[in-house]
Structure formats: structure tokens, C-alpha cells
């Protein structure tokens, strides 16, 4: 069971495998040396996810493991390897992998160069690794993801734009957050405001970027919404040439792979 997001006390949306063992009304239990948790399937959703109820949430973190992308087949000995150094709020089902390149030392070196750093929150959802399976990609339905933009970040980004400086996003998750907030702010003079909420923004070629001037991003899987987002920013043909170069030079792809800077 991959727990996607907490609905309310004891209730979670989840992906399950095999699905035939987890039909509506079925019961289950999970256990280890810390104890046993009982549960049942409340609902099977149209996209195949389940709404599960757990008798207790106290030992969920102890019994469970950090979820990893399906192409990583071995558990991590150090869970911190799949976590950014600036992460604060729990909630994502995957790491914002472009951020894995940064260490505390590197952040200090960036600050020393005169770059202002602003931090936003987006709880990455299922769509970060769910391939687009519809023949017409525009019919792909993005799942809602929770985001937060604090007062300090909004102020720093507004100041940068007013002074003609570039806003460079680390990762596609920050792109979705900032572009969503920028769209909300268009009706109030274009200034970003501290806020939070849910976003279902699907960015693909043809999208008009409102805020982002550049991005750091990893190399993504085919048929992914992340590849479409970066194609929308850089141009599909230009980006594919970069992928051809990366393949020829032996760059590493996906979560623990290399990154590119798109300006």
C-alpha cells in the first residue's frame, strides 16, 4: 500500500497492489515488531486508488518505509538520501528530485554569490510518476496537490521581478506552485501574496509562463507530465536535442540522476 494523502483522521487515499485483494469492504492488517494495525477498504475510486481506514495511525511511520520510484528496486540504507536538505513539512509521496543536488554547503555558496533563496511547499502527488496513458494527452487528469507560499517567499519573488532579476525554479514542483500562484495573482495587480491551497495545474506545450525565467530539473521519464512541462518551457525539439546529448554522454536519468539548467 502506497499512502498518497491523509483524508481525515484514520482515513487515507492509497495505491494498492494487487488490487483484486483490496476490494470495497475488504479488511486487512499490517504489522511488525512495534504492533499491528487493522483496517478496511472504504471505497474504490475511478482511477483505481483506494480510500483506506486504519484503526490506528500511531505506528504507520514505524511499520512503513519511505516510498521510492518503481525503478528503484532496493530499499535505501539512509532514508536521508531521498530527501532534500531544506525539506520541512511532511506530505509528499515523492522527493522533489532536482532539490537532491543541493547540500547546505552549496546553498551557502549560492547565497555568497548574491542569489536570494526563497522556499515554497508543494506536496508532490501521484502524478509525478504516473505516466500519461490517454491517447489525447490533454484529457489526462492531474490529481490535486497541496501548496503553500509564505510571506517571506512572496516578498522576495515580488522584489526580484520588480528589479528585473530572474526567478529560477529548482524542480518542476516549484514551477507548478509558482505558476499557479502567478495565475491567481493576475487579478490583483500581478503581485504574489502569501497563501495556500490545492492545485491541479497541467503544464504542456502551448502554456504561457507567467513567472518562471529558468529552471533546474532532472531528466524525466517518457510520457510523463514532467517531460511535458519542461518541453513547454524549453521547446520540445530543443529539449529532445538535450536528451540526445545527455544519452550520448552517459548522463544519469531519473531521481538520482543528473540535472540540467534551462534558461
- pLDDT tens readout for residues 98-147: 999 999 999 999 999 999 999 999 898 876 667 777 777 777 777 788 99
Read off the pLDDT of residues 56-72 as tens digits, 9 standing for 90 and up.
888 888 888 888 877 78
pLDDT tens digits, 167-188: 999 999 899 999 999 998 876 6
Q: DSSP assignment, residue 152?
A: H
Domain edges within the chain: 2-63, 79-262
Model confidence band, residue 32 (pLDDT cutoffs 50, 70, 90):
confident
Contact indicator for 237, 160 with CB cutoff of 8 Å: no
Calpha distance 139→98 (Å, rounded)? 27
Residue 156 grid cell: 522576495
Give residue 191's region: left, alpha or beta (phi > 0; psi -120 to 50). Answer: beta
203-222 burial: b if 16+ Cβ within 10 Å, else e: bbeeeeeebbeebbbbbbee
Closest by CA position to 177, among listed 189, 166, 185: 185
Cell of 58: 500511531
Is a pLDDT exceeding 80 seen at residue 3? yes
Output the CA torsion sign for 203, 205, 206, 210.
positive
CATH classification (class only), 2-63: mainly beta
Q: Which CATH architecture best describes the domain 79-262?
A: 3-Layer(aba) Sandwich (3.40)
Domains 2-63 and 79-262 share a fold: no
At residue 84, the pLDDT reads: 93
Mean pLDDT: which of 17-31, 98-112, 142-156 is highest?
98-112
Q: What pLDDT is recorded for position 187?
A: 61
Amino acid at each position: 500500500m502506497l499512502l498518497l494523502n491523509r483524508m481525515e483522521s484514520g482515513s487515507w487515499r492509497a495505491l494498492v497492489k494487487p488490487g483484486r485483494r483490496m476490494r470495497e469492504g475488504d479488511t486487512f492488517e499490517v504489522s511488525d515488531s512495534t504492533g499491528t494495525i487493522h483496517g478496511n477498504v472504504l471505497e474504490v475510486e475511478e482511477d483505481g486508488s483506494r480510500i483506506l481506514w486504519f484503526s490506528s495511525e500511531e505506528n504507520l511511520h514505524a511499520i512503513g518505509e519511505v516510498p521510492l520510484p518503481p525503478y528503484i528496486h532496493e530499499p535505501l540504507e539512509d532514508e536521508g538520501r531521498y530527501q532534500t536538505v531544506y525539506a520541512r513539512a511532511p506530505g509528499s509521496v515523492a522527493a522533489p528530485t532536482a532539490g537532491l543536488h543541493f547540500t547546505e554547503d552549496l546553498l551557502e555558496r549560492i547565497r555568497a554569490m548574491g542569489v536570494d533563496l526563497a522556499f515554497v511547499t508543494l506536496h508532490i502527488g501521484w502524478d509525478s510518476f504516473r505516466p500519461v496513458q490517454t491517447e489525447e494527452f490533454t484529457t489526462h487528469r492531474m490529481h490535486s496537490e497541496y501548496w503553500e507560499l509564505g510571506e517571506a517567499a512572496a516578498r522576495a519573488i515580488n522584489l526580484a521581478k520588480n528589479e528585473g532579476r530572474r526567478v529560477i525554479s529548482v524542480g518542476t514542483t516549484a514551477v507548478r506552485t509558482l505558476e499557479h500562484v502567478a495565475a491567481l495573482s493576475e487579478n490583483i495587480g500581478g503581485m504574489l501574496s502569501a497563501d495556500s491551497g490545492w492545485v491541479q495545474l497541467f503544464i504542456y506545450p502551448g502554456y504561457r509562463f507567467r513567472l518562471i525565467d529558468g529552471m533546474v530539473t532532472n531528466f524525466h521519464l517518457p510520457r510523463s507530465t514532467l517531460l511535458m512541462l519542461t518541453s513547454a518551457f524549453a521547446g520540445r525539439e530543443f529539449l529532445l536535442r538535450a536528451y540526445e546529448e545527455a544519452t550520448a554522454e552517459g548522463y544519469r536519468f531519473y531521481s538520482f540522476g543528473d540535472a540540467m539548467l534551462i534558461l
